[in-house]
Amino acid sequence: MNIHPYMSNSSKSFPAYPRGDFDLESGSGTFRRPRKARSSNPCSYLGKMLKSIGGRLQYHYKIHTRLFFTVSLCFGVAVLMILSMYEFRYRNLTDYRRLNVDLANYPFATLENLVMVAGHSVYTSNSCGKVDKEDSWFLESYQKHPGQAATFVTHIKLGVQIAAKDDAALLLFSGGETRKDAGPRSEAQSYWAVAESKGWFDHEASVRKRALTEEHARDSFENLLFSVCRFRELTGKYPANITVVGYDFKEERFAGLHRTALRFPKTRFFYRGTPASSTSIEAALVGEALVRQQFQEDPYGCRGSLQRKRLGRDPFHRSIPYPNGCPEIEGLFHYCGTAPYDGPLPWA
């Protein structure tokens, strides 16, 4: 005989009616519908969250339309600037890696080091027999001291001697056509002519063929920067080491301020200084302190008194060809900040 479930002695309740407060006699009451279990699907939760965020953004956008537009515009500009900066750095570094492809086209491709002699005056004599006489040079009032011309010759000789000891060195005399009354003659050509008249101080055979000029610099910073660019024009690469020849009291200006502005490694930069004449040293130290302070405030010499000095030392309005010959460091020629240039550099 079949036993029906509802006749069972089991303690389990018979689910004939839904749970709830329901009066059988009156028929009144309410049913409590069972709650649906929450979905444990993470994608569903994420979708709801994004939808909620989207709704909030849409709400705030309607209220603050201008604010949203401004923020979006600034964000877009910032992204474009960052991408442009990295593209510029990548392009420059890529171009520099290609330097070695056609080195055979450069006349001094085998040379590695730069020796730069900074010019201080223009030689104006028709004779090369008086190179150590003050009246053979065009001197400014602060340069008119006995023994001044001899210091120029000392710089030229020292530069030749340093280059003679390094077969991988390119010797550059640097200085432009800085004096109107001296005529269209450059300081660099003056120094080269003096070296020629002196037979290259017994080093003609080894040095003359690799001694050239940089004829556009108007101050000490340009002496260094333009000579680095000129080195690139002649060799197809940038110098592994740099040696600067000048007055000993200018060492801090070159080795400290100018080298730092170019971010050239300290371990590969050398300065060889000689003393000023005994009759000019006191005034020279006072003037040097002033110029050094100006370069501390304006490391690239592109504002104020340093800029005016450059303009005054270009009486013939010569067009400066750089950085055409050294495109990898073009940024240095356009930068005018007080902090060191932070763009890409081949040696940094």
Which tokens is 277 given?
Answer: 């004449």
Q: State yes or no: pLDDT of 224 exceeds 60.
A: yes
Higher pLDDT, 12 or 72: 72
20-69, pLDDT tens digit by residue?
554 544 555 554 555 555 555 666 667 677 777 777 767 666 666 666 56
Token reading at 203? 């080093």
pLDDT in tens, 122-138: 999 988 788 999 999 99
Phi-psi region of 66 (alpha: psi -120 to 50; beta: other; left: phi over 0): alpha
| Eight-class DSSP state of 8 | -
Contacts of 122 (CB under 8 A, 6+ apart): 137, 138, 177, 178, 179, 182, 183, 185, 186, 187, 190
Identify whether the C-beta of residue 311 lies closer than 8 Å to the C-beta of residue 304.
no
State mean pLDDT over 206-230: 98
Angle between helices 304-312 and 281-297 (to 10 degrees): 120
What span, in angstroms and rounded, lies between the C-alpha atoms of 157 and 203? 10
Alpha-carbon distance of 44 to 215, in angstroms, equals: 73
Whether pTM exceeds 0.85: no
Q: What is the mean pLDDT of residues 150-156?
A: 98
Cα 300 versus chain centre, distance = 11
Question: What is the CATH code of the structural domain delimited by 103-334?
Answer: 3.40.50.620
User: At 4, is the pLDDT very low, low, confident or very high (cuts 50, 70, 90)?
Assistant: very low
Per-residue pLDDT, 55: 73
